[in-house]
């Protein structure tokens, strides 16, 4: 998902989709926990997005410890991605127990980033397979310099030009991916997503199945909509825009909120018997919180 540029630490704070989702999820978490101060603030979490987030590694050390956040919802080749989520989750629980706010903010941000990318339709596309094809069979590990990431190789000048067009040109692999994610960021910028607060039913399901299984189910729920494949054919249209606002982002926000909540439960910081705050919606799409009975 779009997280702004990685030029400064403030890039993406206004227009970044990751930052927007983190801020909303952090607000929604307040409705679920007893001690709001036990979890890092939204500002602390956003310190580890953008330039200091997973996307920043792509510029600082290409192909070295670079997170690869692509996920196949209906395949069994996701072990590395699931291990990444599990690792960040376990570390988040550990740091919450230790009360280390700086490390907790880092793990919360990087865990959320992985979850959001794993639920983003553009990240369900076989990007690595297509990129390797464009690069003439060279694996992603060979992109170990900025030039190596930007310039597609080729055996001849004509082939190099053709491969770079397939990557960067109109309808290219990365340009299409980028415009989709930037479009999502633009669509969600003015929306508060008050309806994305997890329900009591959501909370109980998360406590029953755990964050990994919740993520897998959410990814399949999004994948069956075929949003990215349809975007590649038609571009943005009214139906896709509504699906982003009403289906995609609410599912993602609930997943991040509930995963952070689950970590607080596992760290012993939350009373599991406390019901989630209910939300009463009014006609102007704003919401009013009322305590659960």
* pTM, to two decimals: 0.84
Contact between residue 110 and residue 55 where contact means Cβ atoms under 8 Å apart? no
pLDDT at 59: 57
Q: Find, among 64, 15, 23, the residue nearest to 46 by Cα.
A: 23
288 or 61, higher pLDDT? 61
Side-chain half-sphere exposure of 260, counting CA atoms within 13 A: 38
Residues above pLDDT 90, as percent of the chain: 55
Confidence of residue 113 (pLDDT cuts 50, 70, 90): very high
60 or 86, higher pLDDT? 86
pLDDT at 10: 54
52 or 64, higher pLDDT? 52
Write down the mean pLDDT value for the chain.
84
pLDDT at 109: 95
Contact between residue 118 and residue 215 where contact means Cβ atoms under 8 Å apart? yes
E strands in the chain? 278-281, 287-290
pLDDT at 280: 42
C-alpha to C-alpha distance for 253 and 114, rounded to whole angstroms:
13
Pick the most confident of 12-21, 27-36, 49-58: 27-36
pLDDT at 282: 34
Q: Which residues of 126-146 are buried (b: 16+ CB within 10 A; e: fewer)?
A: ebeeebeebbeeeebeebeee
Confidence of residue 286 (pLDDT cuts 50, 70, 90): very low
Kindly state the greatest CA–CA separation across the chain. 70
Convert the pLDDT of each residue in 213-230 to its tens digit. Answer: 999 999 999 999 999 999
**Token match 């987030």: residue?**
53
- DSSP code string of 81-149: HHHHHHHHHHHHHHHHHHT-HHHHHHHHHHHHHHHHHHHSGGGGS-HHHHHHHHTTT--GGG--SHHHH
Side-chain half-sphere exposure of 65, counting CA atoms within 13 A: 6
pLDDT over 70 at 63, yes or no:
no
pLDDT at 121: 94
Confidence of residue 287 (pLDDT cuts 50, 70, 90): very low
C-alpha to C-alpha distance for 177 and 195, rounded to whole angstroms:
28
Residue 62 has which token pair?
Answer: 């290409």
Convert the pLDDT of each residue in 144-171 to its tens digit. Answer: 677 777 888 888 999 999 989 989 898 8
pLDDT at 271: 83
pLDDT at 274: 79
C-alpha to C-alpha distance for 191 and 187, rounded to whole angstroms:
8
Q: Find, among 254, 261, 259, 287, the residue nearest to 275 by Cα.
A: 261
Confidence of residue 283 (pLDDT cuts 50, 70, 90): very low
C-alpha to C-alpha distance for 85 and 113, rounded to whole angstroms:
10
């Amino acid at each position: 998902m779009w997280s702004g540029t990685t030029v400064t630490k403030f890039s993406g704070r206004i227009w970044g989709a990751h930052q927007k989702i983190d801020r909303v999820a952090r607000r929604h978490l307040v409705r679920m926990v007893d001690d709001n101060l036990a979890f890092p603030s939204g500002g602390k979490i956003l310190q580890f997005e953008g330039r200091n987030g997973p996307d920043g590694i792509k510029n600082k050390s290409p192909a070295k410890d670079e997170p690869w956040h692509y996920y196949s919802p209906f395949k069994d080749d996701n072990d590395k991605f699931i291990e990444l989520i599990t690792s960040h989750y376990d570390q988040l629980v550990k740091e919450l127990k230790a009360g280390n706010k700086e490390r907790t903010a880092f793990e919360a941000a990087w865990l959320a980033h992985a979850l959001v990318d794993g639920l983003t339709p553009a990240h369900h596309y076989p990007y690595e397979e297509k990129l390797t094809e464009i690069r003439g069979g060279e694996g992603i590990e060979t992109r170990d310099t900025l030039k190596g990431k930007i310039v597609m190789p080729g055996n001849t000048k004509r082939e190099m030009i053709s491969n770079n067009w397939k990557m960067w040109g109109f309808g290219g692999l990365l340009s299409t991916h980028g415009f989709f994610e930037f479009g999502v960021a633009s669509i969600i910028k003015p929306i508060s997503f008050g309806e994305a607060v997890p329900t009591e039913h959501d909370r109980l399901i998360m406590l029953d199945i755990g964050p990994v299984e919740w993520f897998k189910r959410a990814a399949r729920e999004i994948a069956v909509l075929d949003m990215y494949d349809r975007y590649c054919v038609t571009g943005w249209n009214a139906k896709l825009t509504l699906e982003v606002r009403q289906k995609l982002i609410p599912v993602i926000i609930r997943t991040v909120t509930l995963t952070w909540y689950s970590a607080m439960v596992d760290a012993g910081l939350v009373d599991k018997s406390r019901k989630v705050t209910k939300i009463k919606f009014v006609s102007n799409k704003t919401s009013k919180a009322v305590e659960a009975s």
